[in-house]
Structure formats: C-alpha cells, structure tokens
C-alpha cells in the first residue's frame, strides 16, 4: 500500500482520506482547521502540523480544497518539500488555473496531475464514482492503483487543463438538465399540479430526446448543421417563444428559457433557420 497525504479536509477531502484509510493505505492528513483531522486520526491517519510536513511524509500528495486561491496558498506553504514529489490536485477550477498551478509545481520540482471529481463525497470509493485526470502520464501510471481506490480513474491526456475542462463541461450538461427541470416544474406547479406526478411523463421524454445527442454531436464535429434536419431551428424557435409566452401568462419567470431563445434568434437572423438546433453552438463558441 502507498503512503499518501491529503491536504484539505472539507467534505470531499475527508471522504478521500477516509476511503484511502479504509482501503489500507498509510495516510497523512493536514487541514488548516486542525479539529477536522481528529476523526481521521481515530481511524488511523497521521496528522501533520504543516502542509510541508504532510508532503514530506508521503510518495503522493492529494490536494483538495475549496478553490485555486486556497490551493495556491497551501502549496506555497509546502513548496520546500515538493521537489521530487508527486502532486495530484483535485480542486475544482478552470483549465487556465490548472495549467498555471502545474507550471508552478513543475518549477518547484514536483510532478503534477490535475483531476476533476465527478461524484459527491458519499460516492467516493463506491461504484459509479469517476475522477478525470490530465497532466503527467508517468505520475498517473505510477499511482493508478491508489487512485483507483477512490473512483474509476480516467486519464484524458497530457494537456493539464483537460480534466478541469471536461469536469466543467459535464457539470454544464448537468446544470442544463436541472434548469430545464426547474422550469418545467414551475410551469406544472403553476397549474396547481404536483411536480412529482409529472415525472412519469418527463423522465421518458428526456431519455428519448437524449437519443438525438449522437447525431447533434456529429453535426457539430463536422459542421453539418443542415444535414438530415428533422425539426428546423425556425420551427423549434416557435416552441421556445411559446414556452416564454406561456411562462409569463402562468406567472413563471422565463429566465431559464430566454437565453436559448435569444441564441436561436441570432442563429436564425444569420440565415440558418432551416438548419438543426446544433447550429446554435456556432453563435456561442469563439473561432480559434
């Protein structure tokens, strides 16, 4: 079993450390509020007094704090201990932040791997949990058995920012689903009906519509938004307009739906009303 240090013992960091202990690893922990480490000490962890002490104690250090400002402050305190060490950062942030921290860590002589946790704390160590990684491939291969103890490990490549990018892209899909559900729920509730009673209609509909995603993805990848169009953007814009209108009539704010309506209108104004809804992506993405 590996010697692993965990820096940061919020809900997720504590779940990571507890899982590693449960699966037989030698775990050292550090947290700025030391009292949070006490339950883990009772489970077998060693408590380090400083981030540098924690890094020096282990072959692998896992960093999981609230944001990159906190991450930067923690690793700055440990910089003298980083040379020759392996650092995995599981703090949620942006691709640019990940690359900046990776460059800093490498200047200090550490191998760096960035990660995106696609799970909530109770899922860590259980089936269904996924952690995305990008950065130093040798580090990933070296510690893959230990990382697999936390969740399914998916290596995306040596572009350090990819894990953060895919993490946020997956969350974007999730929040899009949630926003659609909340708006649908508000419309149903405006009639005095229960949202729970509406779910047997909504869930199969969402599942059926998700079947169109491979075709939309192919159209996006190949720029073929006019190929095999079943329901044109102009037709779908009418539905979007009616959703917004009905929302206002029912006393529901159209805040969730109006951004999509505006983007569709822009795409149509550019002369692409006969194309598929996939073409809306051309309105929002910047050309490189």
Mean pLDDT of 195-222: 97
User: Domains along the chain?
Assistant: 3-159 (3.40.50.720), 166-284 (1.10.1040.10)
Query: Do 55 and 61 meet the contact criterion of CB atoms below 8 Å apart?
Result: yes
Q: CA-based Rg of the chain, rounded to a whole angstrom? A: 23
The reported pLDDT for the residue numbered 288 is 53
Residue 30 β-bridge partners: 7
39 contact partners, CB below 8 Å, separation of at least 6: 14
The reported pLDDT for the residue numbered 273 is 98
Q: Which residue has the tokens 């009539």?
A: 249
Tell me the per-residue pLDDT of 131-141, one tens digit each, with 9 for 90 and over.
999 999 999 99
What value, to the nearest 5°, has the Cα angle with vertex 10 and ends 129 and 64?
65
Q: Which of 57, 54, 44, 1 has its CA nearest to residue 25?
A: 1
Tell me the per-residue pLDDT of 245-279, one tens digit each, with 9 for 90 and over.
999 999 999 999 999 999 999 999 999 999 999 99
Instruction: Give every strand in the sheet of 60-63, ordered side by side.
Output: 46-47, 26-30, 3-7, 60-63, 86-89, 111-118, 130-135, 152-155
The reported pLDDT for the residue numbered 286 is 72
Query: Do 115 and 132 meet the contact criterion of CB atoms below 8 Å apart?
Result: yes
| E strands present in the chain | 3-7, 26-30, 46-47, 60-63, 86-89, 111-118, 130-135, 152-155
Cα dihedral value 21, 26, 32, 33, nearest 10: 40
The reported pLDDT for the residue numbered 1 is 72
- Count CB-CB contacts under 10 A for residue 211: 8
Alpha carbons 202 and 245: distance in angstroms, whole number: 21
């Amino acid at each position: 079993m590996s010697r692993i240090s965990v820096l940061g013992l919020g809900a997720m960091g504590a779940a990571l450390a507890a899982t590693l202990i449960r699966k037989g690893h030698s775990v050292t922990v550090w947290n700025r509020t030391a009292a949070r480490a006490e339950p883990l000490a009772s489970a077998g962890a060693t408590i380090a007094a400083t981030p540098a002490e924690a890094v020096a104690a282990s072959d692998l250090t896992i960093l999981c704090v609230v944001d990159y400002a906190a991450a930067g402050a923690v690793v700055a305190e440990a910089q003298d201990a980083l040379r020759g060490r392996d650092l995995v950062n599981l703090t949620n942030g942006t691709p640019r932040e990940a690359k900046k921290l990776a460059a800093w860590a490498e200047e200090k002589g550490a191998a760096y791997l960035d990660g995106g946790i696609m799970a909530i704390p109770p899922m860590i160590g259980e089936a269904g949990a996924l952690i995305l990684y990008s950065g130093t491939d040798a580090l990933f291969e070296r510690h893959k058995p230990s990382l697999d103890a936390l969740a399914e490990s998916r290596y995306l490549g040596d572009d350090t920012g990819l894990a953060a990018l895919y993490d946020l892209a997956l969350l974007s899909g999730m929040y899009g689903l949630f926003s659609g559900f909340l708006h649908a729920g508000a419309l149903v509730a405006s009639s005095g009906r229960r949202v729970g009673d509406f779910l047997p209609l909504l869930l199969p509909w969402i599942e059926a519509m998700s079947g169109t995603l491979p075709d939309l993805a192919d159209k996006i990848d190949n720029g073929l938004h006019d190929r095999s169009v079943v329901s044109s953007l102009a037709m779908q814009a009418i539905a979007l307009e009616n959703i917004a209108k009905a929302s206002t009539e029912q006393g529901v704010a159209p805040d969730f739906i109006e951004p999509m309506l505006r983007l569709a209108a822009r795409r149509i104004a550019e002369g692409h009303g006969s194309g598929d809804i996939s073409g809306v992506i051309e309105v929002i993405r910047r050309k490189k």
